[in-house]
């Protein structure tokens, strides 16, 4: 399983700034945890997450992947409730 995280610049419209990170793991949760473990990603604006399966299909990640990623980022920044 691979997840590709796309980051952008914030402003009037958030636009992709050409930065992306790819993480590989047994599950999408492992990929999210690997991404969030990199402090450089904490202050970036996430634009989208793409998921690549073991068969090579690339598709938009489901909402639960975004939710988990956001929970991890909030916890990393000390924003969890």
- In tens, the pLDDT along 6-63 reads 887 665 555 556 678 899 999 999 999 999 998 777 777 888 999 987 788 999 999 9
pLDDT recorded at residue 51: 95
Q: Is 58 exposed, middle or buried (0-12, 13-18, 19+ CB in 10 A)?
A: exposed
Contact 10, 54 (CB under 8 A): no
pLDDT recorded at residue 11: 56
Q: Which residues pair with 4 in a beta bridge?
A: 22, 50
């Amino acid at each position: 399983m691979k997840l590709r995280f796309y980051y952008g610049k914030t402003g009037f419209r958030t636009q992709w700034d050409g930065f992306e990170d790819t993480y590989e793991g047994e599950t999408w949760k492992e990929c999210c945890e690997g991404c969030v473990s990199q402090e450089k990603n904490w202050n970036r604006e996430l634009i989208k997450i793409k998921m690549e399966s073991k068969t090579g299909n690339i598709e938009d990640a489901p909402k639960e992947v975004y939710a988990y990623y956001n929970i991890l980022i909030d916890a990393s920044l000390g924003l969890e409730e």
